[in-house]
Amino acid sequence: MLRIIRDLFYFALIIFAIYLFAKTEKYNSRYWPEVIKIRDVKLIDTDSIIIQSDTALIPVNYIGSIDFRSVDPDNRKKLFIHHILPAIIITRERLFDDLHHIEFIELKISNKKTISKYDSTFLTDLRAKYETNSLSELKIRIYPHPVSLALTQAVLESGWGTSSIFRNGSNIFGIMSFSSDDSRSLMQFQQSSDERYLRTYSSVIESVEHYYLLMAKVSSYKVFRQKRWEGGTSSQLLHYLGSYHESDQYAEMAQSIIASNDLERYDNVTIDPKFKEILTLRSYLMKF
């Protein structure tokens, strides 16, 4: 009788080991993206804006808008930065996660391993989105530039959040629209007889995502993309943004904003781990 019980125990142990091996293989067969738990915050007044730390950020999606023209100039700069900083950090970390996903697939290919259906679909969608079939080019296009540069362009293009298109359309970067299919608004105070339009967005996060996508695809930013892939700082990258704005002093003005507001201190800000959900092997085994 004891021998039968012992044999059954060993048999159950073998079955469990096989099950564990199969689950582990399934976990390792595909990439598990990082999930950011974003908190929705309704903007009632400037007190609704969370003042973030220089290291760990609380991911926030602000609902509504604030007229920064009515904010005291001494506080406007600080509040504007902390208003748009979460959207930039959230977008940037999502881009890095996509980049890591591509590297995961690239390693699978180099090791001649089968790519999961999930990873294959992800790669197909990303190639279409960024309009390239080259994995090396795809990585260059996705790789995001420093936070301080995005903040600086947001400041310049929105006038510290006082522009009409930012107040009414969450367009932080002054992005134009050339298609009637876009959500857009007629540009005010036009100097030419041709009607010109500006994009409108449902949220600041959507505006930031579209800004990074344009910087990734527009051909005139090809050298800019290469330089940021090589690790260029905001100050260095500014010299490759000549086509972004008509002003000859754009780079000089941007450099002044970076320096006077110490914006580079935000370049290393990451999302507070408490607001990230990363599926580990242990949690996968417990969940599935």
In a domain, 143, yes or no: yes
Query: Which candidate, 138, 172, 174, 147, places its Cα nearest to that of 65?
Result: 172
Phi first, then psi, for residue 271 (nearest 5°) are -75, 135
The domain that contains 280 carries what CATH number? 1.10.530.10
Judge whether residue 143 has pLDDT over 90: yes
Q: How many residues does the chain have?
A: 288
Asked if 168 contacts 184 with a C-beta cutoff of 8 angstroms, the reply is no
In a domain, 77, yes or no: yes
Confidence of residue 280 (pLDDT cuts 50, 70, 90): confident
CA distance linking residue 62 with residue 36, whole number of Å = 15
Judge whether residue 139 has pLDDT over 90: yes
Confidence of residue 34 (pLDDT cuts 50, 70, 90): very high
What are the beta bridge partners of residue 175?
Answer: none
Count the domains in the chain.
1
Query: Which candidate, 174, 175, 200, 195, places its Cα nearest to that of 185?
Result: 200
User: Coil, strand or helix: which one is 56?
Assistant: strand
Judge whether residue 69 has pLDDT over 90: yes
- The whole domain housing 198 covers 35-287
* Model pLDDT, residue 9: 65
Amino acid identity for residue 206 in this structure = E
In a domain, 7, yes or no: no
Largest Cα separation within the chain, whole Å, is: 97
In a domain, 22, yes or no: no
3-state helix, strand, coil in the chain (%, to 5): 60, 10, 35
Confidence of residue 193 (pLDDT cuts 50, 70, 90): low
Helices (H) and strands (E) in the chain, counts: 11, 9
pTM for this model (two decimals) = 0.90
Q: In the 8-state DSSP scheme, what is residue 197?
A: E
CA distance linking residue 108 with residue 241, whole number of Å = 36
Average pLDDT, the chain: 89
Judge whether residue 62 has pLDDT over 80: yes
* Model pLDDT, residue 23: 61
* CA distance to 30, 174, 230, per residue, from 118 (Å): 7, 36, 30
Element (H, E) at 121: helix 117-130
In a domain, 25, yes or no: no
Query: Which candidate, 172, 193, 169, places its Cα nearest to that of 183?
Result: 169
Share of residues in the chain with pLDDT > 70 (%): 88
In a domain, 43, yes or no: yes
* CA distance to 14, 99, 101, per residue, from 285 (Å): 17, 26, 21
In a domain, 17, yes or no: no
Asked if 42 contacts 48 with a C-beta cutoff of 8 angstroms, the reply is yes
Judge whether residue 190 has pLDDT over 60: no
CA distance linking residue 29 with residue 20, whole number of Å = 14
Q: Tell which wins on pLDDT, 245 or 115.
A: 115
In a domain, 10, yes or no: no
